[in-house]
Amino acid sequence: MRRYEDTTAAVVGASGFIGRWVARKLSEEGARVCCIGRQDTDNLEAIYRRIRPSITFNLAGYGIDPLERDETAAYHVNARLPRMIAEAATAWKDPGWPGQHFVHAGSGAEYGDANGDLREDGPAKPATLYAKSKYCGTQALVEASRPLGLRAVTARLFTVYGPGERAGRLLPSLLEAKRTGRPVDLSSGTQRRDFTYVEDAAEGLLRLGLASQPSYAIVNVATGKLATVRSFVEIAAGILDIAPENLKFGVIPANAHEIQHDSIALERLRETAGWIPPTTIAEGVRKTWNLAC
């Protein structure tokens, strides 16, 4: 990881949940980090001409927040912006950098209604505005990178949790219940998820960024261990000392567009990064609570 030392790295969407962690870890590894907000992307050409980054990490996204429902904004940020970044990165890339020029954060939601194991070269059936626009961005980058001569990889992230999550998501809701002693409304919790601690997700992106050829256009980044939402809640509740009667399972209806899948294929991640996210749910919840105290 120290290969980032004295390297200029651009982080687009650096003010977001995962973007902040990517910028932080790059800084810890000695990189010169240029943080680019979503609002700055209209000036990408001028920014890249000035900073000439060796590598770019794109964490900009639109639509995870339930209040973000503008279709034009979703396709601009999630679908067109990756191509814009790729073009700017190509024009001003560092020819001496041996790793990836561009690491783009995709989403497991791109698989949508695909059944069975989730493999990068398998079917993708995105069902929501967020998922469809993210899938378009991934495909745009795949199609553009080879003609541009750009080494680029899309890291498909799954259920990322940890310090910095916005209010209303699962773990922040449990932390709020811990602080207030009030009950927390939950779904039945039978849906299975691959929960990835945010610091591991950021490290996975950095590790993929160091990979040279041969590389894959899309790589899943996950732990490979599925757990039900109910199991995650019960583990967190035990650590946070939340009374079982305050966990109101079944109050919230299930989301019709939630992914139902089996295991997530991680062969490409093992081959490319030589690593799998190691943090267990219990460890991740404890780290989050310790930082919140």
Tens digit of each residue's pLDDT (9 = 90 or more) over 20-78: 999 999 999 999 999 998 888 889 999 999 999 999 999 999 999 888 999 999 999 99
pLDDT(80) > 90: yes
Amino acid (one-letter) located at 275: W
Question: CB neighbours of 22 closer than 8 A, spacing ≥ 6?
Answer: 11, 14, 57, 59, 202, 205, 206
Mean pLDDT for the chain overall: 95
Nearest CA to 203 among 23, 13, 15? 23
Q: Which domain holds residue 93?
A: 2-157+198-221+264-277
Please report whether residue 30 resides in a domain: yes
Q: Evaluate whether residue 84 is within a structural domain.
A: yes
Instruction: Calculate the dihedral angle through the C-alpha atoms of 134, 138, 141, 146, rounding to the nearest 10 degrees.
Output: -170
Domain count, the chain: 1
With respect to residue 16, please indicate whether it lies within any of the assigned structural domains.
Answer: yes
Is 255 contained in some domain?
no
Distance CA 77, CA 17 (A): 16
Residue 219, classed as helix, strand or coil, is strand
What is the pLDDT confidence band of residue 243, given thresholds at 50, 70 and 90? very high
Residue 282 lies in a domain: no
Residue 131 lies in a domain: yes
254 assigned to some structural domain: no
- Which tens digit of pLDDT belongs to each residue from 197-229? 999 999 999 999 999 877 899 999 999 999 999
Q: Which 8-state DSSP code applies to residue 218?
A: E
CATH of the domain at 56: 3.40.50.720
In a domain, 252, yes or no: no
What are the two backbone dihedrals, phi and then psi, of residue 9, each rounded to the nearest 5 degrees?
Answer: -125, 130
